[in-house]
């Protein structure tokens, strides 16, 4: 599928989702996160999404950073997704004065490079992205619902407990760590001493959501997976049926890696794509 055909297909998805009365009729949504300027991975994922009769696409942030195609990825995402929240790399790339203090050396180098190649208008659009949003039963945020401006990770039961406490939504979708995960709040009791929550960790590959539980689901990363699987990752959620599935999509890793090297970005960023770590 050519890039032009892909854009046409994604526009059709958006137009169908925006028809009057369609808001309550979502059958299937795709949730993407952490593209990180990897055009090869993003294109492959959007082609896969197009084959699955998805009603809308939601994006959890970090369109840019690490990879060599920030402008193309930002444009394609803006034309394809229904909701787009900010990631920490989006925030840093869109703001020339701040955002680097919490990034490791390679990430900061990539953000500086990204600032240099993005048009000012694109950087302003990144600056204007929201930290999170609510969409039906879903809370969309890049890191954690708990202090989202601090770009916290949800990587433990304790992290998940704070995230559940900061949101009233039944299903909270996150990215940021690049590692798929599923945390389930199976019990929440209000005691004299405070609130007691019981959290369990589930396999994120496939879930049937229980009506009485709440969930924090990490959909992994499209553009820089870190769970040892180099294939792009994203999630499919069917709100009415309560089903969630993590999908993996192969893409041209070598082409994306070569672009990183040719752009003069740190070689470790190319190696991470190959290793999936």
Provide the pLDDT for residue 4: 56
Provide the pLDDT for residue 234: 98
Q: Which domains does the chain have, with CATH numbers?
A: 3-14+26-275 (3.60.21.10)
Q: Between 3-17 and 39-50, two packed helices, what is the crossing angle to 10 degrees? A: 50
Measured distance CA(255)–CA(125) in Å, rounded: 28
Tens of each residue's pLDDT in the chain, 277 residues:
555 555 444 444 444 443 333 445 578 999 999 999 999 999 999 999 999 999 999 999 999 999 999 999 999 999 999 999 999 999 999 998 787 888 999 999 999 999 999 999 999 999 999 999 999 999 999 999 999 999 999 999 999 999 999 999 999 999 999 999 999 999 887 766 667 788 999 999 999 999 999 999 999 999 999 999 999 999 999 999 999 999 999 999 999 999 999 999 999 999 999 999 9
Provide the pLDDT for residue 18: 39
Measured distance CA(102)–CA(265) in Å, rounded: 19
Q: pTM to 2 decimals?
A: 0.90
Provide the pLDDT for residue 270: 98
């Amino acid at each position: 599928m050519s890039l032009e055909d892909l854009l046409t297909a994604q526009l059709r998805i958006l137009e169908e989702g925006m028809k009057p009365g369609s808001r309550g009729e979502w059958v299937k949504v795709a949730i993407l996160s952490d593209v990180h300027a990897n055009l090869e991975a993003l294109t492959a994922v959007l082609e896969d999404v197009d084959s699955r009769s998805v009603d809308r696409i939601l994006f959890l942030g970090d369109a840019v950073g690490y990879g060599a195609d920030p402008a193309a990825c930002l444009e394609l995402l803006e034309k394809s997704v229904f909701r787009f929240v900010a990631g920490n790399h989006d925030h840093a790339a869109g703001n020339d004065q701040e955002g680097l203090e919490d990034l490791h050396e390679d990430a900061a180098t990539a953000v500086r490079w990204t600032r240099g190649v993005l048009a000012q208008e694109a950087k302003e659009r990144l600056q204007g992205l929201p930290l999170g949003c609510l969409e039906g039963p879903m809370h969309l945020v890049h890191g954690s619902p708990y202090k989202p401006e601090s770009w916290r990770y949800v990587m433990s039961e304790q992290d998940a407990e704070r995230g559940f406490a900061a949101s009233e939504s039944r299903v909270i979708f996150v990215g940021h760590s690049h590692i798929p995960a599923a945390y389930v709040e199976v019990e929440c009791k209000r005691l004299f001493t405070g609130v007691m929550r019981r959290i369990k960790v589930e396999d994120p590959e496939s879930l049937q959501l229980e009506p009485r539980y709440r969930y924090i689901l990490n959909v992994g990363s499209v553009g820089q997976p870190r769970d040892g699987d180099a294939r792009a990752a994203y999630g499919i959620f069917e709100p009415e049926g309560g089903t969630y599935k993590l999908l993996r999509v192969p893409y041209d890793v070598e082409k994306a890696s070569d672009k990183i090297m040719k752009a003069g970005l740190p070689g470790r960023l190319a190696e991470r794509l190959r290793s999936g770590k």
